[in-house]
Every structure is written in C-alpha cells, then in structure tokens.
C-alpha cells in the first residue's frame, strides 16, 4: 500500500488532532504517501483531498477540534454517494482510509469496505466513551475533566449560598461523563440513562443528606437521563419538596472543546500509529481499540453490536460516598 487517506467524521472530540498527527507521521515514517480529507465523508464525495506531510501536522498536538474539520453527510448513507467517494479515492491511487469518529462513521466505513473494497480502519473519537469493543475513546478523558472542573466551580457557589445545583453534562445515550465527573467532583447524586431515575426517591436522598448536615448539594444529570433534562428534574424536585432554591447549570458544548489531556493525546498517538500499521499489514474492516491498556484491533461491527458500559457498581459506590 503506497497511498492512504485520513478523515474525521461525526461529532468532534478533543484528541482528534493528535490522532491525525500520528496517522500522518506514521505513514511518512513508513514511506507511505498520506492525504487529508476535509469535512469527513462530504469531503470524500466532493474531492476535498490534499496530500499532507510531516510538517502539515506541526503544532497541533495540543489543540482541540480537528484541523481536517468534521461533518455529517447524508449522501454517504446511499450506495451512490459511497460509489462517488470510492471513485475519488481510486482516482488518486489511494488504497486505504483511516476514519476517526464514532460508530455512525464506522458504519459508513464498513459499507465502503464491503461495497467498494476500500481498506478502512477506524479510530474511536468521541467524548461519550460509548463505542463497543474499546475501554476508552479519544476525547472522553478531556471532556470528563472539563465537566469535573465545572462541577468544582459550581460547588464553590453552591456552598456559599447553601443551594442545590443540578448540573447537566453531555451524554445522550451514555452516562460515562455523568458517572465519572460526578464521582470525581464528589456529587451527592448522579442521574444517568443506565439507571432508572425516581424523583421522589431522589428527594428522600437529598432530605437524608440534609438531615446529616449537608447544606449544599450537587446533582449531576446526564442530558439523556430517562427523567428528562436538568431543568425538568430540578422543577419536579422543587414542586414536590421543600427544596425550592435550586439552580440549574448546563455545561453544554464546552465539554467538546479544549486542550486534550495527556491521557487523550497518548491514546490518540498510540491508536493513530496502530491504525496505519494495521492498514499496511493488510487489515480492513477493523477498529483500533484499547483493552487492558493494550492497543489491539476488533471488527468494526463490535462498535455497534457490543456495549462499552461503565461498571454498574460505580452507581452503588457513588451512593455510599454521598452519606
């Protein structure tokens, strides 16, 4: 394989840049020409593909976002769109593609490989940590630390005013950020989609903590919690309890940006190097994963057919520690 390409697709995550840097430099180190595709699959269809060099990725290791930009592309979900994309790649003599993104992007990569025999290798890049087959995805650690810092700051004001804060963090289908940032920030309660939220029981817990002398409390809510968003839950708590002076803070998209942590950078560079070496060794239809601190490969389908869930015992531990 003499020419490969790399793209970022779907939701962005901090650490995509160090992953791009590792892909480009590993390719260059192995004497392989490497091309960057702008705006994910849309750029593939449009032919927004340019050769990169070791120097094109200088000075990006500490930047959030992705220098290649990212996009969502409906056309790529059709066989015609994927045929156009494959023709663009073949026209440039590109035989292999590294896709940095989430499970949606992997479905596209899987189809491109199955239908068009373009060798594809995925790298998990999403803040949600919800890709099956890998213990960690690039961007989760950074987003988690951003959420924790937000919780720490809100705790200062909550404590000063003897208030209850409901802090909404990202995670439409996954409670990873909520659970880990809640534990790290010492939250009094953590509401995540993996556990059924019972608001009267939550009120009872808050009362019990109040009886034990807590004058301010933090409730972390994943945006996809089954009981609704943080505003809905805070309103219901205020409606049925004596806790009227509640505040809501939605941390939002700040969790997607920012300087990637050392953990995410090292994960990104290990996965980026492994993706290129997998392609050069003839692999396709696989994603790079981290299992027990080892970098390995798994079929792309594991991303959507299996689940990376946090240890359910963490929920019990979080309750133990909020006495």
Instruction: Select from 110, 108, 112 the least CA-distant residue to 86.
Output: 112
| The two structure tokens encoding residue 112 | 């491109």
| Stretch touching ligand ADP by CB under 6 A, among 5-13, 59-67, 116-124, 214-222 | 5-13
128 vs 141 by CB, closer to ligand ADP:
128
Size of the site for ligand ADP (CB under 6 A): 17
Q: Edge-to-edge strand order for the sheet containing 33-37?
A: 49-52, 33-37, 3-8, 96-101, 119-124, 286-291, 294-299
Task: Among 126, 145, 181, 249, indicate the residue that binds ligand ADP (CB under 6 A).
Answer: 126
121 pairs with which residues across the strands? 98, 286
49 binds ligand ADP (CB under 6 A): no
Instruction: Concatenate the DSSP letters of all residues of 55-123 into one string.
Output: GGGTT-TT--S-TT-----SGGGSHHHHHHHHHHHHHTT--EEEEEE-HHHHHHHHHHHHHH--EEEEE
Closest to ligand ADP by CB, 62 or 172: 172
Q: State how far the alpha carbon of 241 is from the alpha carbons of 190, 234, 245, in Å.
A: 19, 11, 11
Among candidate residues 12, 103, 111, 128, the one labeled active-site is: 128
Between 105 and 318, whose beta carbon lies closer to ligand ADP?
Answer: 105
Q: Which is nearer to ligand ADP, 104 or 257 (CB)?
A: 104
Q: Rounded CA gap, 157 and 300, in Å?
A: 45
CA 129 distance to own-chain centroid = 5
- For ligand ADP, give the closer residue by CB, 41 or 180: 41
Asked if residue 41 binds ligand ADP (CB under 6 A), the reply is: yes
Binding mask 202-241 for ligand ADP (x = CB under 6 A): ----------------------------------------
Residue-wise burial string across 144-172, b where 16 or more C-beta atoms lie within 10 A, e elsewhere:
bbbbbbbbeebbeebeeeebbbbbbbbbe
Among 10, 122, 171, 285, which residue sits at the site for ligand ADP (rule: CB under 6 A)? 10
Residue 264 falls in the annotated catalytic set: no
**Which of helix, strand or coil describes residue 13?**
coil
Interface characters, 55-94, with ligand ADP (x: CB under 6 A): -----------------xx--xx-----------------
Q: Is 285 in the site for ligand ADP (CB under 6 A)?
A: no
Which residues ranging from 106 to 125 are in contact with ligand ADP (CB under 6 A)? 107-108, 111
Q: Which residues here bind ligand ADP, judged by CB under 6 A?
A: 9-11, 41, 72-73, 76-77, 101-105, 107-108, 111, 126
Q: Which residues are catalytic?
A: 128
């Amino acid at each position: 394989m003499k020419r490969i390409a790399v793209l970022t697709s779907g939701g962005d995550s901090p650490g995509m840049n160090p992953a791009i840097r590792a892909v480009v430099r590993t390719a260059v180190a192995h004497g392989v020409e490497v091309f960057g595709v702008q705006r994910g699959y849309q750029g593939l269809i449009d032919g927004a593909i340019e050769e990169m060099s070791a120097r094109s990725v200088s000075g990006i290791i500490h930047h959030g976002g992705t220098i290649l930009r990212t996009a969502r592309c409906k056309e790529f979900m059709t066989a015609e769109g994927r045929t156009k994309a494959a023709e663009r790649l073949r026209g440039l003599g590109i035989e292999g593609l590294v896709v940095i993104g989430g499970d949606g992007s992997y479905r596209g990569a899987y189809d491109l490989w199955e239908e068009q025999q373009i060798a594809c290798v995925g790298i998990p890049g999403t803040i949600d940590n919800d890709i099956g087959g890998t213990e960690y995805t690039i961007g989760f650690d950074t987003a988690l630390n951003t959420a924790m810092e937000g919780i720490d700051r809100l705790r200062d004001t909550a404590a000063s005013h003897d208030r209850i804060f409901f802090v909404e963090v990202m995670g439409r289908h996954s409670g990873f950020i909520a659970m880990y940032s809640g534990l790290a920030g010492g939250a009094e309660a953590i509401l995540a989609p993996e556990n059924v939220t019972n608001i009267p029981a939550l009120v009872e817990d808050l009362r019990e903590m109040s009886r034990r002398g807590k004058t301010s409390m933090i409730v972390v809510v994943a945006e996809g919690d089954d009981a609704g968003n943080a505003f809905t839950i805070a309103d219901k708590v205020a409606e049925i309890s004596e806790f009227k002076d509640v505040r809501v803070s939605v941390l939002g998209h700040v969790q997607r940006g920012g300087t990637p942590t050392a953990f995410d950078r090292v994960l990104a560079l290990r996965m980026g190097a492994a993706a290129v070496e997998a392609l050069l060794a003839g692999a396709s239809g696989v994603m790079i994963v981290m299992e027990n601190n080892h970098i390995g490969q798994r079929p792309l389908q594991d991303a959507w057919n299996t689940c990376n869930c946090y240890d359910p015992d963490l929920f019990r531990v979080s309750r133990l520690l909020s006495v």
